[in-house]
Amino acid sequence: MAPTIVSSGQTASWQTNANKSISVAVQVNDLLVVYANAENQTSFITISGGTGTWVNSVSIEGAGNYCNTYIWTKACTANETANINGTDGTTGHFGFGYVLFRNHGGLGASNSGNATNNSSNITLTGVSANSAIVLALGDWNAVAGTNTYITTDAGTFTELTDNHEVGIYASNGGYYADVGSAANKNVGLTAPTGMAWTLLAIEVKGTAAAGSASVSPSVSRSISPSSSVSRSISASRSLSPSGSISPSAPPSTALDDFNRGSIGTNWTLINGGMTISSNRLWLNSSDSIVYWNPNSFNDNQYCEAEQYGLNARGVIVRGQGTDSSNFRGYALIVNTAQTGSITFRFAYITGNGTIEYLDSGASGTSVTEGFKLRLIVSGQDTSIQLTAYIGGSQQGTLNWSSFTNKSRILNSGVPGLYSSFAGIVGQMDNFEAGTTSEPSASESPSPSAMPQGSIVWGHVTGVTETNIRKFSFNWSGTGMISGSGDSEKIILSSGQYMESEVCDTGSRLILLKQNFYVAGDTILLRYRQGNSPANCLAASWNNYVSAFASSGYVQIRVESTL
């Protein structure tokens, strides 16, 4: 079922630089999607207003001789009539429009592109059936003419905005209400031609059809132990699906994949320098420090980023201050290895890049390039705790009682990133930050907070399972987790293993299926089960051969066969 479009609208004018506002009535769990466009690359638009967190979900900004174009989204957390406020902070002309969705399944695929040619179109990959798509287009050339939208893949397009300011810029926006069948969807315009266009699109998923269905819910995981393997676990039973679970981040989460040409306004530079190159953040000066500025974060928070390059670098939590003279925060610092053995330290970092280690010495682990580095902070004052995850596995914890300098107490702040530079650019990608409701810092996997039913780990696009989960922070062991989304994988060297969270299956038959995506080494698949989480964790491991009966709770283990 397609998502319900409750209302839509746009600003009264797109041809001034004045701050703009639209009032809209929303309900809890509604989804607001705002498309915005500014006349040139120096006009940076920010959307705010109402209860909940606005996320810059997809944008193109800072590209020479193109408009800055944005799609902002917000999951509504209150019943209210709220203002959507837009500012650009410069003299550039701009405007925005919105679409309000209800009965939706969250955000899905998105894409962006820009060029000076006669083909202003992009493709969304793996769009779900009956989704809606919101489209935003800016034209720096301000070409006049009749707009002809592409409708072959996604169906009828509803145009909300057609602004043309002669000699300045043009803006178009609207939506495809129901794309029909699941497939890749090509969207955009075939006319007018000759535009210098920036084009964005984002999917808003529909909801699963109501009623009962007989299904085989499966738990599939993409696993690469020196190979790429996907496995699925099926529980044979009938159930009434309660709707789909969207893999999109919760409202309290900040995300940035750096897939654009310029930094934009979400990052504040404290020290050093930063730029974007090859769709990664490059911290390219000595002792570079940046922090994420659009969101407010709970005191208990985490910060994560994929790591590339050879220099010492790290992630920051509870960062406080606004410049190099007063900034400070907690950091998880790793040394220079790209692949192989690395060491890591817990530290107190100041705005000029000074590192004061809070632990008594370095700890070590092994990684491959692109590994995820995550630091979690919780507690206040003398109860502060720092927890390190590297490659998706917990590697160490430091409590305030073990700080080498117990005066280093930070009770609030924001996440950020650090790189020592040392002549070699530190590169990071797929930044994520938010509250610490996920993951648990427990050494033993606790029962997963998800309903009984199908589960998928490590895959997002086109899945039909009830529960969509990440390997990261839901699996632990001596192996490593790398990548994200459909590219997330477990990497196992000789003698290594990884174990899943404990799953509440209920009493039923469990079937494990294996799907191979690419050729590679095999793994040993094992399981254990029990009538309670504790009894499941206490049980012995069994090699999986055929379907087995679960007494209520199941845990999965994969082992290297190298």
Specify the 3-state DSSP secondary structure of 327.
coil
Domain boundary among 392, 409, 435: 435
Same domain, 84 and 119: yes
Q: What average pLDDT does the segment 384-405 reach?
A: 88
Clarify whether residues 409 and 348 are in a common domain.
yes
Which amino acid belongs to residue 194?
G
In a domain, 442, yes or no: no
Q: Mean pLDDT, the chain, as a whole number?
A: 81
pTM of the model: 0.44
User: What is the bridge-based pairing of β-strands 363-367 and 467-469?
Assistant: unpaired
Asked whether the beta carbons of 234 and 443 are under 8 A apart, the reply is no
φ and ψ at residue 163, rounded to 5 degrees:
-105, 130
pLDDT > 50? residue 322: yes
Answer yes or no: are the C-beta atoms of 346 and 386 closer than 8 Å.
Answer: yes
- Per residue in 149-191, pLDDT (tens digit) is 999 999 999 999 999 999 999 999 999 999 999 999 999 999 9
Give 301-314 pLDDT, tens digit per residue.
999 998 887 677 89
Q: Helix count (H) and strand count (E) of the chain? A: 1, 48
Greatest mean pLDDT among 414-423, 449-458, 474-483 lies in 414-423
SS3 142: coil
- The total number of residues written for the chain in this structure: 562
| Structure tokens that stand for 127 in this block | 């769009």
Q: What is the pLDDT of residues 185-243, one digit of tens each?
A: 999 999 999 999 999 999 999 885 323 222 222 333 333 333 333 333 333 222 222 22
Please tell me the distance from the alpha carbon of residue 489 to that of residue 470, in angstroms, as a whole number.
10
| pLDDT of the residue at 243 | 27
What is the CATH number for 355? 2.60.120.200
- Strand-pair category, 107-117 with 169-176: unpaired
Q: Do 383 and 411 fall into the same domain? A: yes
Closest Cα to residue 305, out of 396, 221, 389, 210? Answer: 389
pLDDT score of 190: 92
Judgement on whether residues 232 and 260 belong to the same structural domain of the protein:
no
One domain, residues 77 and 175: yes
Summarize the confidence of residues 481-493 as an average pLDDT: 72
Residue 261 identity (one-letter amino acid)? G
Return the amino acid letter for 224: S
Least Cα distance to 235 among 445, 549, 500, 446 occurs for 549
Same domain, residue pair 118 and 74? yes
**pLDDT at residue 521 greater than cutoff 70:** no
Instruction: Please report whether residue 443 resides in a domain.
Output: no
Backbone angles phi, psi at 76, to 5 degrees: -75, 135
Give the pLDDT confidence of 278-301 residue by residue, as tens digits: 888 887 778 889 998 877 788 889
Tell whether 61 and 94 lie within a shared domain. yes
Whether 354 and 430 map to the same domain: the answer is: yes
pLDDT of the residue at 249: 37
- Residues 342 and 429 grouped into a single domain: yes
Please provide residue 278's backbone torsions phi and psi, each rounded to the nearest 5 degrees. 55, 40
What distance lies between CA 451 and its chain's CA centroid?
Answer: 22
Domain count, the chain: 3
Q: Both 190 and 230 in a single domain?
A: no
The answer on 504 and 407 residing in a single domain is: no
What letter represents residue 84's amino acid?
I
Report the 10 Å Cβ neighbour count for 102: 16
| Residue 292 domain flag | yes
Report the alpha-carbon distance of residue 2 to residue 456 in Å, rounded.
23
Query: What range does the domain containing 177 cover?
Result: 4-204
